[in-house]
Every structure is written in C-alpha cells, then in structure tokens.
Amino acid sequence: MREKLMYVLLAGSGALLVWNLSRMLLYLPDEAAQGAIYRIIFFHVPGAFTFSLAVFSALVSSVLYLITRRLPYDTFAASATEIGLAFGAVNLVTGMIWARIIWGIWWAWDPRLTSMLISWLMYAGYLMLRRAIDEPTQRARNAAVLNIFTFPGVIITYKAIDWWRTQHPGPVLSFRSGGGRMDPAMEATLYWNFLALLLLAAALLMVRMRQETTRRELDALRREAHAL
Amino acid sequence: MKIVRQVFTVAAKDLRSEIRTKDTLNASLSFALVILLLFSFAFDPTAEQTREISGGLLWLVFAFAGALILNRSFSRELPNDCLEALIASPVPGSALFLGKTIANVLLLLTLELVCFPVFGIFYNVPWTEQFWPLMLVVVLATWGLTVVGTMFSALTVNLRLRELMLPTLVYPIMIPGLLGAIQLTSALVMGHPIDADLTQWLKLLAGFDIIYTALATMLVDTVLVG
C-alpha cells in the first residue's frame, strides 16, 4: 500500500513537472526586464517553500518526539531535514545562477542570502550531530533540542525581505505583496511547480523513512543476535 | 530562593576549581592574545581603519577563545563520573545550567577585560571614550553568547569529536548576537554615543539574551537528564 502511494506520488510529480516545463518554455513569454533567465524563479521560490515546509514539519515532529518519546517522530524529523536540505540547495544554487546573470556576481552578503545560507548550514550541523551520537534515544533527544534552536533562522530568512532593504528582490507573490507585482499566469505556474516539488519531496520522504525503519529493525536484530 | 542559592553554589564550585588550576583561563587567554597578534599580519591598517573594524576583530577573538572555555564547561565533569553525580544531586538541571553559565560568563568577561587594553595598546586604538555603554554591550553580548554556548556544551558533552562539534554547531546560532555585539562595539570604540540606530542593535542583543536564556533553561533538563 505504502509502496503504491510512493509510486503514485513520484508519477504525479513527474507528470506535473513535464506539464509545468512545457508551460514555462513554450507558453509563457520572456519577462520584460530580465529576459529568459527569469524562469529560474519557477524552481528558486518553490525550492525555498519546500525547504521551509520540510524543516517546519521536522520542527513539529521534534517537539512531538520530546513530548511522546516515540522514535518514529525522530525518524521523520531526520528524513524531513535531509530532504529539506536538498531543496534548500536547489534554492541556493538557482539563486546564485540568477545572480550571476542579473547582478553579475554569484553571491552578495545581503541579509536574505546570508540568513538562508546560515539556516542551511545549521541544518547540515543537525545531520552532523546525528552522526556523532550512536545511542538512538540520546541521538533523538539531542537532535530534537538542536532542531528547536535552529528554526528561528528560517523565520528570519522568510522575513528578511520585509525587515531589511535587501539586494535580493522584495516580495512579488500576491499573498505577500498584495498583488500586481507578477503576472497571474506566471504566478500560477510557480504554484503548480511548487506542487510538483512538494510531491517529489513527499515521495523522497517515504523512501527515506522506509530506509530508516529498515535500519532500526536491522539494529534490533543485530542486538538480539549479540544477546544470544 | 533555594534555586538562587543552588545556582550560586554551582557557579562558586566551577569558579573555585578554575581558580585552583587556572587551566581554562590560561589556555583561552593565551589563545586570545595569539589571535590578536595574528591579526596584525592579516592586514596593515591605519588606526582609524582599525577602529572601524574593532568590533569584528574583538568579537571573533572572544568567540574563538570562548569556545575553549565552553568546551571545558561540561567536559571537566566527565572524569570520575562527576556529571552523573551532579545530575543525581538534588540540584535541578536548570540551576546547574545557570550556575555553569554564570561561571562561564565571569571567566569570559575576565578574558575580555584583559583583551580590550591589550588591543588598545597594540593597535593604537583609544577605546575608552564610551566606556560604560561599551561595558553594558560587553556584558549583554557575553551573557547571550555564553547561554547558547553552555547549552551546546551540555548538548555535545558526550560526543566523539566534541571539540570540533561545539564550534561548528554554535557559531551559526550565535550570529544574531555576534552581529549586534560587533555593530555596537565598533560604533562605541569610534566614540559614537548610543543613538536611535544603535538602540535597535541593543534591542536585538537584549532580545537574543531573553529568548535563548528562556529556551535553554526550559530544554536543559531534557538534554542532561533525558
């Protein structure tokens, strides 16, 4: 059943990506000021959304772990963080390519870019911490606490374009800017691509969760064999 | 008021054992001085330029040397299972944590108070024009950085590669506090009084202190006891 759902999610994401790509490349025109390179926004922004959503769900499940002490919550938090990091990397890399074309430089130390990089590094640190602890309950506990300390960075990243005057463009999506900053057809494509990435993230999450569960079972068997 | 007494008992214990051996203080102080020396090779600025970047230089030194102090904070309890004994004692985890934080803050403040005049002399920087506001910033920033650092010292105490993990994990989280401290220190060393612009940074620093002190005291029992 789970396996089937995973394949359905993957297929849905793939089909949606093909459809979105055809919209982006064949239907939507070049943007007036930026030309063809603006299309990167269809992956840049959904990548950031998927990253935020993944690490937010990791935060929720870390808190749930601390309350209930059930290990599956820890597994979920670790898997969601790993997948969040992948999509965070998509966001950073596409942003840098865009910056190279539009600004002429790969990187600017502005609050939005810097806070995103810091958040990404902090979640990489979370995975490093997990590797350094062998005992499962201690690992789960310390990782959950670290996750709570890390999340404020994501909030700062999200609000950075409101709080500071950044080199990074200000809000363009209608739910933050009040509308009129982006063509509705383009904005719709952006949301559809967010859905495609989200389905892909969900499928990857299921793969990762299954690996982790299998690993725990193997560990248990190994301990049992050791006891005999 | 029992908890206040417990906090000070733990802080006094840490300080007493530090004063008797002076291990951490000597090591971190000489480390700080060596980095201050190294900076003179990294660039060759005029006195005015040095004043402009003084905040960044000093707080990097304090963060590096502070990591040495923080690393030792919990790991010094590992021999003879002292940490287990402390956790089993009737002192609550939060009191243990706050006591250790206070001891670390005092050690780091000592280090900073030595570094400021040394920096002033070697780099020819008059830094005392706004002395008391500067001290306020130093105390606030040191508290914030130490609270986060002590929490992470507890979090990483049982790890392999502890000395490496603590700075890797803690510096990114310290960044908002460090940023405030750097901006304020540079401005105050240059002799600017605290105006509306600097008050914003002061607020950031105070907010950082409050949020992380609350979070850490709340979560430290989970980390120490389980």
Q: Structural domain of residue A17, as residue ranges? A: 2-227
Is pLDDT above 80 for B27? yes
CA distance A196 to A157: 23
Tell me if chain A has a CB within 8 Å of the CB of B87.
no
- Cα distance from N-terminal residue to C-terminal residue, chain B: 26
Please count the residues of chain B: 226
Asked if the C-beta of A117 comes within 8 angstroms of chain B's C-beta atoms, the answer is: no
ipTM: 0.84
Number of domains in chain A: 1
Q: Nearest CA of chain B to the CA of A122: how many Å?
A: 6
pLDDT of residue A135: 84
In the chain, the amino acid numbered A50 is: T
Contacts of A88 in chain B (CB under 8 A): none
Instruction: Please give the pLDDT value at position A160.
Output: 84
Phi-psi region of B191 (alpha: psi -120 to 50; beta: other; left: phi over 0): left
How far is A20 from A39, CA to CA, in rounded Å? 11
Whether the Cβ atoms of residue A85 and residue A120 lie closer than 8 Å to each other: yes
Q: Which of A1 and B169 is assigned the larger pLDDT?
A: B169
Banded pLDDT at A219 (limits 50, 70, 90): confident
Interface probe, candidates B74, B83, B165, chain A, greatest A C-beta count within 10 A: B165
Q: How confident is the model at residue B4 (pLDDT cuts 50, 70, 90)?
A: very high
**Sign of CA pseudo-dihedral B13, B16, B20, B24:** positive
| Nearest by CB: B219 against A122, A148, A150 | A148
Instruction: Kindly tell me if the per-residue pLDDT of A88 is higher than 90.
Output: yes
Encoded tokens for B41: 């090779």
Q: How far apart are CA A5 and CA A15, in angstroms?
A: 15
Torsion of CA A151, A152, A155, A159, to 10 degrees: -160
The per-residue pLDDT for range A155-213, each reduced to its tens digit, is: 988 888 888 788 888 888 888 877 777 888 888 899 999 999 999 999 999 999 999 88
Among B3, B11, B65, B7, smallest CA distance to B33 is for: B65
Distance from CA of B126 to the nearest CA of A (A): 30
A–B: how many Cβ contacts below 8 A?
Answer: 52
The answer to whether B169 contacts chain A (CB < 8 Å) is: yes
For residue B46, pLDDT over 80 is answered with no
Smallest Cβ distance to B226: which of A128, A141, A149? A141
Tell me the HSE value of A128 on the side-chain side, using a 13 A CA sphere. 17
Would you call B215 an interface residue with chain A, using a CB distance cutoff of 8 Å? yes
The CA distance from B39 to B184, in Å, is: 21
- Check if the beta carbon of residue A213 is closer than 8 Å to that of residue A75: yes
Q: Which two tokens stand for residue B143?
A: 């508290």
Residue A133 has pLDDT above 90, yes or no: no
CA distances from B144 to B68, B131, B219 (A): 16, 20, 16
The CATH number that applies at residue A150 is: 1.20.120
Averaged pLDDT for residues A72-78: 93
Q: Which of A66, A122, A141 sits opposite B173 (nearest CB)?
A: A122
Give the DSSP H/E element, type plus range, for residue A138: helix A136-150
Check CB contact under 8 Å for A128 and B160. no
Give residue A61's Cα distance to chain centre: 15
Q: Are B202 and B184 in contact (CB under 8 A)?
A: yes
**Measured between CB atoms, does B210 come within 8 Å of chain A?**
no
CA–CA separation, A126 and A134 (whole Å) = 14
Predicted pLDDT of residue B50: 82
3-state secondary structure of B89: coil
Q: Which residue in B175, B212, B219 is closest to A118 by CB distance? A: B175
- pLDDT value at residue B43: 77
Determine, for residues A138 and B160 on separate chains, whether the beta-carbon distance falls below 8 Å. Answer: no
